[in-house]
Structure 1
């Protein structure tokens, strides 16, 4: 399976008539929403040091392909959006580049992007870069970043900390053609990342997850029928790609939940607490939804201990027999006689019972030492191109998130 590769280009103040709109105490605009009313394509909104109130609403703010609107913190500034139900709420937006903000202590969702319930006109071409979403002041189904009906997006170099017990770091409903890369997730509730409601063609690449929730990556989910985008989607998610990530802890690092044509390749999974993988079907309308199936789990390193109740937990109504398992490294340091995982199909070229020889896992250094059985043990695949550190994989490639150097 090939996942679409998206590169978004932008230029700060990218048109000859572009303006810089300054926000902050002593500047022309006191608040971001006031500045946004005067912003035109190619403009930059520059926010200066301060702690600002949440509940900022930006509706129909749209740049153009040649003139993105840039919302960034001023050089050297520290900018917090604290409290409110939502830090920012973006609705029906396009061609926005947002960089450098901290969102904290919200009581609803930390940050919202949606299509304004106009499903045929999604928000699109949005980049979130180097932002922090943390310390949500809620315990229910509250997300640090909620996205509904967003296409052609990128979330990069962001930090997600201390999510709600019942929520996600990033929760996507009906989102398409996206990239989540080089982000850090820690202490999540239900999930670190969830993509459901007809989401498709989203890549999750080169991220770090620690204690990522009940399901670090919920690839699919359970969505009410009125919220699917597109409305007739027969799956919760399709065409997701999980590549070159480091995943530490959580009840289940990987949950395939009503998804199809999704691949989990070249990741390092370290000490999950209950399962390694779950295969589930939570939307059970058999006349509409295809069963969870035709997914793959390839070239991963799984370092698990005796806490695991089942390496692969399979729920009813799935097509687990259509999965592909290949070239994974499975190791249990607490049981030298462990026979390996019980999987729904026979794995091709799996390796069981050999220490992957991490450099220093206790310090989060999962580089492979000389002599590791993971070196050159992977099957060559189209993606990922680089490993977790950005180094290209060798030919033949190693298993896990880091190529041997």
Structure 2
């Protein structure tokens, strides 16, 4: 059978349907299109917009009781042609807009001519440096025939913004791919997905420019983004998802140096930015914030990232690896290291009328190492809540801590600027369990946790880890032991044989992998075995074609289960 190309219809056949709330399709483990809530359970997938190579699709049948039945993966090979329509050429120095643009020797000269002329399925090859010009095609592509702008062979085309507030890539439409370009010298959001959906920014270099997304189902992958905004003024985010931007995937990018934050989600607009994915990125920001999930962020998955160096230059006040002030997100399998502030800050705050509360988040299987302040900071302000968050199976090790009264604390719970503080014995529904909490080797038994309260609340409370767990039911099974990383100096945070973190974790409902009697603590399993927690495992499979086939056209993914107990 032929490899996948163009637009592909994917259909799921689901049984049982009693209690079924919808089917969520996923591509390479991440959300693909909106959840389908009525039969037929199918989507149209633009394989034409995917990178050539191996991919996999799964279907998740989701039920009202919270259970999920996941199909076996369907392995696919994507092999898109060079173009789905015409090959067009633009040469910034040797072209002429009076030409037809259909060959290297008859290339156009300006992006404006290409924008006005493209049709769905066209591939546009760019050559040279385009100053103060923009990609903004007059039409959209389609799922079967996206429009692609890329560099001509043997060189990288450059779009020079010209140090202006102009937009060099403006995509209010759909199914446009920008691949392998350099965009430089901007002062604002030069790449603007202005309500645009199903667009792709891939394999490009963005220097002193940024991406602003208000649309959904876009893919931003394998780009390098550097030096945006002003460190001194503390302004400028390299990548922003706001105003309803949902189901966008931010994958395999390298992002460095932004005046405010490398990635900011949910800090503007009335509509939630939901179901986005930030994964497999290398994020380093010695200028200021690294990653901020703020008030209107919902159900974002942040995983397999390295988040480092937050405000480490010292120009701005110390920043965390992750600022988390929104509900329902999952933070897992990340490494947060060498940030000047905390490893992670989980907090609530009223910022100009935007109410930010951290409720119902899951933070698990992360390594928080070598940060300048606490490994974990929980902070409530303005009468807003930090509530019902799970913090489990993380390693908090060699962090600078919060100094007070002769001790240096790895965990700080701060309610100094809140009208009321939680009663002694209550963590407000938050759970802190099965973590390794150790400031440095030899520090076991010293003060590890401090609750910062103002005098009207009764003043500060400080605890050893043992006393903290004896006082608060939500704190349990945390360890004070050296995790025995393979190489701290080499930032290799895998576990050595004999590490106390091996098999010491607790099963989290959405854990993917485990070994032995329990998962390991930290971001990396010592070895991998699939964990089966179902009472009677579901029967899942691909009904057509057979698994691992390469296909084109319609595929059917089926799932059924005798029961749904423990299915995750």
TM-score (norm 2): 0.58
- Which of 235, 239, 262 in structure 2 is aligned with 1:170? 239
Q: CA deviation at 1:400?
A: 4.3
Alignment length (residue pairs):
362
Query: Which string of whole-angstrom CA distances, capped at 9 and with x for unpartnered residues, describes residues 317-347 of structure 1?
Result: 4321221111111112668x86641355341
**What's 2:454 paired with?**
none
Q: Match of 1:140?
A: none
Cα distance in structure 1, aligned partners of 2:185 and 2:132: 9
- Partners of 1:130 and 1:361 lie apart in 2 by 31
| Residue 104 (structure 1) shift | 1.3
Query: Secondary structure of 1:150's partner?
Result: coil
Aligned to 1:67: 145
The aligned residue for residue 225 of structure 1 is none
Choose from 212, 224, 227 the match for 1:146. Answer: 212
CA RMSD of aligned residues (A): 3.0
Query: How far has the Cα of 1:245 moved from its partner?
Result: 0.8
Aligned to 1:111: 191
Given that 2:168 and 2:190 are in contact with CA atoms closer than 8 Å, whether structure 1 keeps it comes out as yes
Counterpart secondary structure, 2:359: coil
**How far 1:192 moved relative to its partner?**
1.0
1:20-59 mapped onto 2 (5 Å cutoff): 20-24=87-91, 25-27=93-95, 28-48=107-127, 50-58=128-136
Query: Taking structure 1 as reference, are residues 331 and 299 closer, same or farther at Cα in structure 2, changes over 3 Å only?
Result: same
2:200 aligned residue (103, 127, 143) = 127
Q: Is the 8 A contact 1:333 1:355 kept in 2?
A: no
Structure 2: 5+ residue stretches without partners:
1-23, 33-44, 49-79, 96-106, 311-318, 402-406, 414-426, 439-480, 528-568
Alpha-carbon distance in structure 1 between the residues aligned to 2:510 and 2:304: 9
For the 8 Å contact 1:131–1:158, the answer to whether it is kept is yes
Shift of 1:173: 1.6
| 1:273–1:380 Cα change, 3 Å | same
Aligned equivalents of 1:205, 1:315: Cα separation in 2 = 30
Conserved? CA contact 2:434–2:521, under 8 Å? no
Q: 1: CA distance between counterparts of 2:524 and 2:250?
A: 18
Deviations 1:242-286 (A, max 9, x none): 1111111211111123x2111111111112212233313335759
Q: Who is 2:435 aligned against?
A: 350
Given the alignment of the two structures, is residue 238 of structure 1 paired with residue 298 of structure 2, yes or no?
yes
- Deviation, 1:352, is 1.5
Matches within 5 A, 1:2-401: 5-6=31-32, 9-10=47-48, 11-15=80-84, 18-24=85-91, 25-27=93-95, 28-48=107-127, 50-58=128-136, 60-84=138-162, 85=164, 86=166, 88-115=168-195, 123-136=196-209, 144-147=210-213, 149-165=214-230, 166-174=235-243, 175-196=245-266, 197=269, 198-211=272-285, 213-221=287-295, 236-250=296-310, 251-257=319-325, 259-278=326-345, 279-283=347-351, 291-305=357-371, 307-308=373-374, 311-332=377-398, 340-343=410-413, 345-353=430-438, 354-379=481-506, 397-401=519-523
Separation in structure 2 between the aligned mates of residue 305 and residue 63 of structure 1, nearest angstrom: 46
Pair 107,338 (structure 1): closer, same or farther in 2 beyond 3 Å: closer
Cα gap change, 1:212 to 1:179, in 2 (>3 Å): farther
Given that 2:373 and 2:400 are in contact with CA atoms closer than 8 Å, whether structure 1 keeps it comes out as: no
Equivalent residue of 2:217, what SS? strand
Kindly indicate whether the alpha-carbon contact (under 8 Å) linking 2:485 and 2:494 is maintained by their aligned counterparts in 1: yes
Task: Tell me: CA distance 1:383–1:112, structure 2 relative to 1, closer, same or farther (3 Å).
Answer: farther
User: Could you tell me how far 1:220 is from its partner in structure 2?
Assistant: 1.9
Shift of residue 46, structure 1, vs aligned partner: 1.0
Contact kept, 8 Å, 2:169 with 2:190, in 1: the verdict is: no
Deviations 1:58-108 (CA, angstroms, capped at 9, x unpaired): 154300111111111122212221233235131422001111111111122
TM-score for both structures, normalised by structure 1: 0.79
Separation (CA, whole Å) in 1 of partners of 2:511 and 2:239? 22
- Mapped to 1, the partners of 2:399 and 2:281 lie a distance apart of 25
Q: Summarize deviations over 1:190-228 as a string: whole Å, max 9, x none.
A: 11111113211101011111126533111025xxxxxxx
Measure the CA separation in 1 of the matches of 2:352 and 2:490.
Answer: 42
In the superposition, relative to structure 1, how do residues 400 and 77 fare at CA in structure 2: closer, same or farther (>3 Å)?
Answer: farther
Q: Distance in 1 between matches of 2:507 and 2:520?
A: 9
